Structure 1
Amino acid sequence: MDLENFQLFLKSDMAQTLINLGAIQGVILSVIIWNYPQQHKIANRILSLFLLSLVYLYVGPQVLELVDSPFQRLYFGFRMVTPILLILYIQSLYKKVPDKKFSLLFFLIPIDILVIYLSLKLRSNGIISSLQWVIINQSWFIIIFLFYLKLIFKQFNNYKTKVLQNLSSTHQVGLRWVSQLFFGFLFIVSFDFLLSVISSRSGSLDSNTASILSILAFTMFMYFITIKGKLSPQIYQLRNLEDSPITDNKPSHVEDVGHLKVVSEKVINLMETEKFFREEGVTVKDVADKIEEQPYIVSQAINSCLGKNFFELVNGYRVEESKNLMMDEKLNHLSMIGIAFEAGFSSKTAFNTAFKKHTGMTPSQFKKEALF
């Protein structure tokens, strides 16, 4: 299909139908997630609002084309609600929301609206040209979006840190899902911005075609989220880490170092003598209860004295245990997944990933080399 025929397709009823299906799918999915019957409803409802804001952001301009007003572009003043909701969604997975500090982000929306309004006034009064108006708005969008992007990265890194400091398995926390959600959002926003730049500064792509391409990307993203939810419904049942400790790697006082060293020795003893790492889904709180210490003390002891987080510690022991099990002739009847479960892993994927990270080879490769 050449470019001309492709553009004709984009202007056809088929393309418009796909766009409508994406919007409808987004609304339906939002309603389902909002009413998902789980205890952790706050995160699901923020996710639901995030999806609705995406529908608003991508389908709204199609509706506004029917409105004859010089201030149509003020619609985009609410475009930053979407990244704010993504920030709050990630935050809700590991701490209490709403956080007053992040609630202040909503005050940036009136500033965004004001910038767009003033640029429109300047253009309508002939003070700036249409091209200058486009450059101002595109530059402003880059500045404010990069600001939100930095905050999203920060929230994701905080979430990831808390997960790895407190849990031995990421199965019920959805690190991969959150990263896919973020990078998918980043892609469709970047794609939309790139198309707008191309259509405004060259004649190779008209604005209508650019708009339809952008909305088709949005539709694909909506269907990805829908399919992901059907294949992995646990993403709407993610474990909340609000009460789990998060620590830095340095003890605050010199006298604390000795105590942390004692605690780290207790943790090692628990892992090596009782093989506590084989407990399914073991957490830092489970270890703390076992050795009668506070969870944040145990987490800090592992970080500062052992030089690793809880996730790395436990899965390191599990990998070594699985290697021993593979070499045991009495257990030759066990499959790889059976060995993984015996060592404490919750899934074959987690087993393969951890094994490859610690040994540089897959479990099958290791067993083959060890036997020959």
Structure 2
Amino acid sequence: MIYITLLNIAIFQGIVLGIIILKSPLFKSNANKYLAYAIFTLSLLLLNLVFEIVEIYNTIPLLRFIDNIEWGFILPVFIFLFTVHQVNHPIQHSKKIRWLFVPFIYYAFINIFNDLGTIAGVYDIPNSIDKVIGVLKLIGIFIVPPFIIGILIYTYSFIKFSNNTQEKKWITLLWTLVSVLLLSWALAIILGLFFEYDISSFMKLLALFGTFVIHWTAYFGIFKYRLAKDKEGINKLLARKISLNDNDLSIDTNLKKVNYSNNLESLTTENSYYIKLEALCKNHQIYRDSTLNREKVAEKLGISPGYVSQLVNTITGGNFANYINHYRVEAVKEMILDSEFKNYSLLAIGLESGFTSKTTFHKSFKKVTGMTPNEYRNSQK
């Protein structure tokens, strides 16, 4: 069944993603720890639905504890903890936060106690106790909407404390997706219990939305956001390490454009334009511009694009793209050897060095060094 397959893929991805976040040094932080817990929780909610569809609870009753625990209560708590840690708000250290887990523990205890006799066949619950549990469960149902709405609003109030626009955008999108998911889930429960609507189809659609949340978190929330943060960090480090002083290089942009096509003797490393091109790469790192082309370089040197190609081809024996990519590879190698860049991803380092994609980066790096970036990094350990 395609539907079950999609859910299983999302569950597997959620578990793997959670483990990667917890174990990888690239994502290691208190904020990401709670994000991993949130992803695990969402995966368990989807797993519960799969178990219900395939009726595994009838075959293995002991697994019903997954169904008995209302994971929907703890998911917004983890999102809240992720947010306050991510924006580094002082409330993250408050012991009062523990009270947010009370509704989850309350409802989990009631459900497990209520079904314990049925599952294990240990005892029969007396009618008086059964009525008390029924009242407590009813109270729990009335707790659901205000608790979820309250903690979501409370969480949103902390997003503004982020000083990073990219970070604020990512947290807001995550909060929005989780809010839609949780509020729809709570609404479905109320409609099913009080109005006796058949919510099975709606819950299946909601589960598909849950799979989307996991996929989105995996790609845009984790990979893309981490990449953006890495590039920002690398850029700041490079700016601090190297002072790009335009006065260090004197380039006369009014130099007369000369056609040296018939004067190949001048196309040597002593050529004044080539010297200036080398200075642009070494001193000003123009290769870090991913949109760099012959036209831009020609404009900086005050010569024609054709002469730029002729200059590079004759002196280096390669084309303009190879010439620029060589500088990019050397920049990557330098950063790999620098301990200050060890916590940044290789892809972020490659993109910040001017490469436009992972494929181009790996292909160019292997062409120059004979190794992939990861192999080169491991060889230097």
TM-score class, shorter-chain normalisation, is 0.3 to 0.5
Give me the TM-score of the superposition, normalised by structure 2: 0.46
Which structure is larger by alpha-carbon Rg, 1 or 2? 2
